[in-house]
Amino acid sequence: MLKTEIALSEKTILVTGAAGFIGANLVQELLRTVPGVHIVGLDNMNGYYDVSIKEYRLREIEKSAGAHPDCTWEFVRGDLSDRALVEGLFEKYRFSVAVNLAAQAGVRYSITNPDAYIESNVIGFYNILEACRRYPVEHLVYASSSSVYGSNKKVPYSTDDKVDNPVSLYAATKKSNELMAHAYAKLYDIPSTGLRFFTVYGPAGRPDMAYFGFTNKLRKGETIEIFNYGNCKRDFTYVDDIVEGVKRVMQKAPAKQTGEDGLPLPPYAVYNIGNSSPENLLDFVTVLQEELIRAGVLPADYDFEAHKRLVPMQAGDVPVTYADTSALERDFGFKPSTPLREGLRRFAEWYHEFYQV
């Protein structure tokens, strides 16, 4: 696919979900590495999980911004589903690149709270697309998810696979984002790239993710539940690898071209970003417990067997995720590679410091 090179230095960039796990790490990376970048971050700071972690991430961003006075950082507290707010930001700042990482996350939560997913993931994304139509950007990059693959039997998952069988509303909203982006790319020539993230983890991550939730429960002496009797595999991807992938993608937009019908060929692409190395959940838990002991989060004599329970598969879950990243490697020369133990070690050390264990 033909690509248009985009220089990020001195550009004004929108990052939605800027207080979120991936968003905050992306903002810090851009402030550290892109000269003269101007970043506007949008987040509604909702209480889906502990807001103090979001506030911690924002403080870390402020430190990065302070260390790079040639760059600017502005935080806007607001909701993606507020169309007037979104349009107002685009009108005021005329963004060169928009990175949409805001979404209501979580597969299981979507079963009991569907409204939140339609508001944020569908209406919110529609507002972004409309704003990009009215105030054109050089590139729209947005978060999709490995959950769009549903219960696909073929592994590794390729972006060439059909993804028409979501097993959760969350997955359905992410697939709808890809479809909407394709339509807007075709109709309005908006260069857009969707990124299917695979089980992102790391320091200051989301407490609803397994590694973080397990740690919280083990510290309290509670029992952790390992789904599908431990026969699940996940393509755990360290957050720094995700951020590096996003940054590279931001700088290469699908090229605008005209088709034989005289209409634009949609400048549209989708990539997987995953570690391409699925880990069995039981092995993952073993590495996690070893690193929690090493970091001093748990005592050396902790009885893990007494705090583990194997349970059936949860509704909306899938047994395996496994990314085929060959297209990402081909077009961007990049492949996530952080080993699981290294990533969990950094998480355990952060956890020890943040919670002053």
Query: Do 64 and 32 meet the contact criterion of CB atoms below 8 Å apart?
Result: yes
The runs of H, that is alpha helices, within 38-197 are 51-66, 83-93, 109-112, 114-117, 124-134, 169-188
Domain 3-198+238-275+321-337, CATH 2.60.40.60 — does that match?
A: no
Q: How confident is the model at residue 314 (pLDDT cuts 50, 70, 90)?
A: confident
**149 belongs to the catalytic site:** no
Which H or E run includes 354?
Answer: helix 340-354
Is residue 313 pLDDT above 90, yes or no?
no
Tokens read off for 66: 């302070």
Phi then psi for residue 68, to 5 deg, are -135, 75
Q: Which of 117, 142, 157, 170 is catalytic?
A: 170
The chain-wide mean pLDDT, for the chain, equals 94
Structure confidence at residue 87 (pLDDT): 98
Q: How confident is the model at residue 153 (pLDDT cuts 50, 70, 90)?
A: confident
DSSP letters spanning 45-58? --TTS-HHHHHHHH
Query: Do 296 and 357 meet the contact criterion of CB atoms below 8 Å apart?
Result: yes
User: What are the pLDDT digits (tens) for 77-95?
Assistant: 999 999 999 999 999 999 9
Classify each residue of 129-148 as buried b or exposed e, where b means 16 or more C-beta atoms within 10 Å of its C-beta: bbbbeebbbbbbbbbbbbbb
User: What are the pLDDT digits (tens) for 27-60?
Assistant: 999 999 999 999 999 999 999 999 999 999 999 9
- Longest CA–CA separation in the chain, Å: 70
User: What are the pLDDT digits (tens) for 231-279?
Assistant: 888 999 999 999 999 999 999 999 999 888 887 799 999 999 999 999 9
Q: Under 8 Å CB-to-CB from 1, ≥6 apart: which residues? A: 254, 255, 269, 331
Cis peptide preceding 319, ω within 30 of 0: no
User: What are the pLDDT digits (tens) for 112-130?
Assistant: 889 999 999 999 999 999 9
pTM over 0.85: yes
As a whole number of angstroms, the distance between CA 238 and CA 242 comes to 7
Domain boundaries, the chain: 3-198+238-275+321-337
Q: Which residue has the higher pLDDT, 108 or 249?
A: 249
Least confident of 5-9, 122-126, 278-282: 278-282
Of residues 229, 254, 258, 41, the one with CA closest to residue 139: 254
As a whole number of angstroms, the distance between CA 166 and CA 348 comes to 33
